[in-house]
Amino acid sequence: MAKTALLIVDVQNDFCPGGALPVPDGDRVIEPLNCVVARAIHEKWFICASRDWHPRNSRHFVEFGGQWPAHCIQNTEGARFYPELYLPEELRIFSKGCAVSGLSREVDGYSAFDGRDQFSMTLRQTLPFRGVELLYVAGLATDYCVKATVLDACLIGYKTRVLINCCRGVERNEGDSRRAVMEMMRAGAEISFEPYDSMVMRIPRVQQRPQPSSRCATIR
């Protein structure tokens, strides 16, 4: 079983230049990400991808009370994966932001862990079944779906590495992506500069010194 997995988050037409909700330079993730995909195939990692898969009347959209313009509507060109992205035939796809197996259409579905595959299985169910211990995460956007996915992965307990050269952020507010990276690192994620550099950044786990109890503190 694969002990390493690559999770590609929402690299879809609508999030790339010319799409309904383009992430600035969203297509710039394609070249480095394709390098990582090639390595993952060669080393037999488990490869999966999430996608936004919204119904037309999703309350995620401004038109129906949400905060985003309509994007990645089911079975439209905008919801397709970016055509230059190299994806293996056996790719496992997790669709999110949609009503699947009783899930409400009210669910925004930022995290890939909110999605389900064609067997109605979640990532949380699938990764242990595949024996995954190390999870690489890449895609769009750093400050939304990538962040939400990474935070969930860390919370569940996976060793998680963010492929920062394979991510881009929305930056609705200046500095959102930087703050997202720091939040992910504080949660325990490592920041990887692959495929261009083997360097990994992490926040060291500092062991807390034991504190004296209040009773001991009163002793002179």
Catalytic positions: 10, 96, 145
Contacts of residue 210, Cβ cutoff 8 Å, sequence gap at least 6: none
Q: Are 78 and 20 in contact (CB under 8 A)?
A: yes
User: CA-to-CA distance for 12 and 82, rounded, in angstroms?
Assistant: 5
> What is the side-by-side order of every strand in the sheet holding 159-168?
92-96, 46-52, 4-9, 134-140, 159-168, 190-192, 200-201
User: CA-to-CA distance for 168 and 47, rounded, in angstroms?
Assistant: 20
User: CA-to-CA distance for 175 and 122, rounded, in angstroms?
Assistant: 32
Q: Are 130 and 46 in contact (CB under 8 A)?
A: yes
User: CA-to-CA distance for 71 and 5, rounded, in angstroms?
Assistant: 27
Contacts of residue 105, Cβ cutoff 8 Å, sequence gap at least 6: 55, 57, 58, 59, 98, 99
What 8-state DSSP symbol labels residue 34? H
